[in-house]
Each structure stands twice: as structure tokens, then as C-alpha cells.
Structure 1
Amino acid sequence: MKRISVFCGSSSGASQMYTDDAKRLGTQLAKEGNTLVYGGSKVGLMGTVANAALQAGGEVIGVIPRMLMEREIAHTGLTDLIIVNTMHERKAKMEELSDGFIALPGGPGTMEEFFEVYTWAQLGEHKKPIGMLNSHHYYDKLLSFFDHMIEQQFLRSEYHSMIIVETDPHQLIEKFRQYEPPILTKWINREQT
């Protein structure tokens, strides 16, 4: 039905709950007929979400830069593994292939991927849904920081509401289906709106 990019850690993190939720998300994406697009690794949450989708009969497309083939340990059992030259190409290819984006727990790389597609959405570069699977309250502090950005007038509330946050993969995917992007007015003079 759709291709969904998942950004997540090449580590499994400190809690088994992160692994469990990555499995649940991969399984749910496949069960609902979605193709998983992700960073192409077989380790950490990246490998977990891919393996779960494959085991549930889903298609999985990995996108990995040549320089990370050994470091991130490329997954060779995917439906398709696309090898690119740079991290920039990886993100561009994942955005091009995908109809939506979900962040599982991860580190700076996950955050960087998430914030890039989120910024592109704010600028009107795409109108695709963006979500977080808030596994084990992983994103609670980041979500509080978004509220702080709004209070300090560095983020408008309508842009914060673009991020779909759920703890259940099925509910997250369902909200992706219902997503209506806001009318973007980011660069219009506020006195005119």
C-alpha cells in the first residue's frame, strides 16, 4: 500500500522494550501491506524492525552508504538493498522512496534524519506524515522541548502538531492514513495572516 521510512538506532538501547516495540512496528507495517524503508543495517533496532517486517511477509528496502556497509553491517536478506555514496544521498533516497516517516528510539543519526524530514515538511518540501513511536517514553523530554520552543516563539504550534506521536504501532499507522497536512504559512508575514 505505502512505503514508510523508519529511522532508528543501530544499537538496541538500554531497555528490551525498545526491541519489543521495533518488532511490533515492523510486524504491523507488514501486516497492513506497507513496505518498510530503512537504513539497511542488520544490527540494533534497525535489524530488529527489518527482520520483523520480513518475518511477517513484508517487503523491506534498505538504503545504506558505501562507507557504512561494514560499520553498520549491511543486511543482505532484504527485498532490496540500495547502496549510495553519502549520508546525504541516503536521506534523499529514503525521502524519495517514502510516503511517510516514523522515528523509533535512536541517537544523533536518528534525530538528524527525523529533523531533516520534519524541517522539509515545515517548508512545504513534502506533505507526508511524520511520526514518533514513543517507546518506553523515550521521546517525552524531546516533546517537552518542543513545548519550550513554542513558548519561546521558535516553533509555531501548528508545526508541532504535524508530528504524530503514539505508543502503539497500529494507532500510529492509522493516524498516518488520516493525516491532513496543515496549510503552510511559514514565510508569510505574520501580520498578513
Structure 2
Amino acid sequence: MSTNPKTSHAEAPVRLSPISYVVLGVIGLRGPSTPYQLKQAIERSVRYFWPFPHSQLYGEPERLAREGLLDQEVEEGGRRRRVYSLTSSGQEALENWLKTPPGEVFEMRDMAVLQLFFSEFTSTAELVKLAEDQVRLYKERLAVYQAIIEHNEGRERAARRLAPLNLGVRMATACLEFWSDIAENPPPGRE
């Protein structure tokens, strides 16, 4: 049974957030999806460069359905899950957003870098430990990225979706080199 409570688009424009576009985009890529399937797909893709709490995700498909950007079907039997699919209005909203330059540059927000900034208040040994922990974490992240790349090798259709992953590899490699340098040659400070 398909439901779409929004019948008139004459009201104020729909306010869409980055999470809205993630939902529209992921459903556009993978097709009809339940909120759980969305969460799973995001865990394997978008979250590596656009993390957000899952609590923000679960209500968004229903809101987008009320706005006419998604269709909602409730399964007849079983668990009566809600399955969402992209409407033509939803695809149009996604396409319009993709034509709009963000007007911002990458903003780094990294707890380890914040701790490094205030590391004058800790010993060199603690700073080296912080750096070594970061080296380990970035090696693990690079291994995950490599597995994703290998899994998608030869899939031409995924090429554009892998471009952000290539950026992630470059950034993680730069961070790995940075933290390796800090671990090997910590800036002078409190012993």
C-alpha cells in the first residue's frame, strides 16, 4: 500500500538538510529501502566522510515522504516495514542540490589534533603514545578503504562513488605520515 500524505506543494519550500540529501541520494542509488537498509548502506559508504548520529536518520525518510520527496509503502504482512522510494520531486530536489556549489571548504574537526594542540600540558611520552595510537588507527582505516576498493574493482558504475574514497585514502595517508613524524620526532616540550 503506497501512501504519500503531501498533496499540495504550494506551501513554503521544503527545508532539506545534508541528512535529507544523504537519504535521497542513497535511496536513489540503491532503490526502495527501509530505514534499517538505509543505515546499513550509509555505514558502508557515506559515513566515512559524512558521519552523523543514526538517530537523525530514522525519522528523516518519513518526513521526506510527508513532503512528497519519497513514496512510502507499508508491507502488507509480516513486520509491516516501511519501504521508501524516490519520487520525481525527490530526484529533482537531489539534482538541484547537486547543481548548487557548497561555498565552503573542508573543515577538520579531529580530537587527536585538538589534544596535540594542548599537549604542552602532558609529557613527551604521552604525546608519543597519542601519535602511535593515531598511527595504528590510520593503518586500520587504510586497510578498510583498501578492502572497499578491492570489493568494487571493475565496477564502472561505482566509479564516482569511489572518488570520495580516493580522497579519504589520500587524507588518511597524509595523517598517517603526520602522526608517524610526531611519534618519531615529537616537538620539544615537557619531559
TM-score range, shorter chain: under 0.3
Higher helix share: 2
TM-score between both structures, scaled by the size of structure 2: 0.27
TM-score between both structures, scaled by the size of structure 1: 0.27
